[in-house]
Amino acid sequence: MTTAAPPTAAQSRASRNRARLLRTMLPALSMALILLAIAWLNPRAISYFGFSLMLNLAIPIALATIAQMFVITINELDLSIGTFVGFVGCVTATWLHDAPLLGALVLLASIGVYAGLGALIHLRNLPSIVVTLGMSFVWQGLAILLLPKPGGSAPDWLKGFMGLKVPFVPFPIVAAVVIALVVHFALMRSAYGTVLRGAGGNPQAIGRAGWSLLKTKVVMFAMTGLFGVISGMALIGITTSADANIGNGYTLLSIAGVILGGGEFVGGRVSPIGAVIGALTLALAASPLLTFMSIPPDWQVAANGVILISVLAARALISRKGA
């Protein structure tokens, strides 16, 4: 650069704010880009019916992404969320259908297991990656024991709920907005939500201020369990039957969704609205867009990788300019 005068403080602050705004908007922008591509390739897809179809499976993915976001907020990672969703799916399609009380108890207990994991990881100072990797075997094993062959059937009320028809706006979009807003207000706007995020940003400070770090871990892992349960139930409500491997892909999708949505692995910097948008982007990009672009199925997984890399590249560019 040849400019002689250094930028004034106000100027640099303005440019920093612009970069920050751009960064916040990035998840929405990438989704808009994907939607534009879809509209261009197949205008008929942009309709009530088209969105209902395209976003059909987006809701369980968004819920699993939110579940992952809770643990990422406190600098942990859950590599078992995919098999957990599968386990919940198997419970939903068998016990919750045949013996609702037992099914509900098992699901509640599994949330308790998550809370216990949070306590274990905190008290023994364990790496969450390894503990949850081990747990992914546990959930998958349980799912296979429960449902050795694909089958079972969803409770009718669940099928009815997931098949809900809302006038004008497709149900998946309504559900996505509700999920994003509820979690946004709970985590970003409430007093205890701030403490929870603080436990990821500066645990020492939160501890010295008198908050129990153990409790924050337990609460966040329990929330992950809760949203994992809802995700598994929503998934079975859509597919109507289960398979022990049904959720396996969700682990990586959920991590990718959180990061696409502007979240970071450390420091308690996450965005619930961004995470939901990130999940929808991945869901849209995963199959509808690729089908319209007639990309062979071989390369569909790669497309997720490319989208992830491009968004992160854009983010790196913006951050460098803003720095």
Decide: is 38 part of the binding site for other proteins (CB under 8 A).
Answer: no
Whose Cβ is closer to other proteins: residue 91's or residue 131's? 131
Nearest distance from C-beta of residue 12 to other proteins, angstroms: 21
User: Which residues, 151 to 180, sit near other proteins by CB under 8 A?
Assistant: none
Contacts with 199 (C-beta within 8 Å, 6 or more apart), sequence order: 73, 74, 206, 211, 213, 216, 217, 220, 268
Q: Are 46 and 39 in contact (CB under 8 A)?
A: yes
Q: Which is nearer to other proteins, 43 or 134 (CB)?
A: 134
What mask of x and - would describe binding to other proteins in positions 281 to 300, judged by CB under 8 A?
Answer: ---------------x-xxx
Residue 6 DSSP code: P
- Of 25 and 133, the one with the shorter C-beta distance to other proteins is 133
Q: What is the 3-state secondary structure (H, E, C) of 287-315?
A: HHHHHHCCCCHHHHHHHHHHHHHHHHHHH
Give residues 91-120 in contact with other proteins (rule: CB under 8 A): 120
Site string for other proteins, 207-236 (x = CB under 8 A): ------------------------------
Q: How many residues bind other proteins (CB under 8 A)?
A: 49
What residues pair up with 66 in beta bridges, in sequence order?
none
Separation of first and last alpha carbons in the chain: 16
Report the distance separating Cα 43 and Cα 50, nearest Å.
10
Closer CB to other proteins, 236 or 255, in the complex? 255
**Applying CB under 8 A, which of residues 91, 93, 96, 135 lies at the interface with other proteins?**
135
The Cα 278–Cα 263 span in angstroms is 10
Burial of 224 (C-beta count, 10 Å sphere; 0-12/13-18/19+): buried
298 within 8 A of 3, measured Cβ to Cβ: no
**Distance in angstroms (rounded) separating the CA atoms of residues 212 and 123:** 12
Considering only 2, 3, 8, 125, the residue that binds other proteins (CB under 8 A) is: 125
Residue 49 interacting with other proteins (CB under 8 A): no
Report if residue 270 touches other proteins, rule: CB under 8 A.
no
Residues 243-262 that bind other proteins (CB under 8 A): 244, 252, 255-256, 259
Give the interface with other proteins as residue ranges (CB under 8 A).
75, 77, 120, 124-127, 129-131, 133-146, 148, 244, 252, 255-256, 259, 264-266, 296, 298-306, 308-309, 312-313, 316, 319
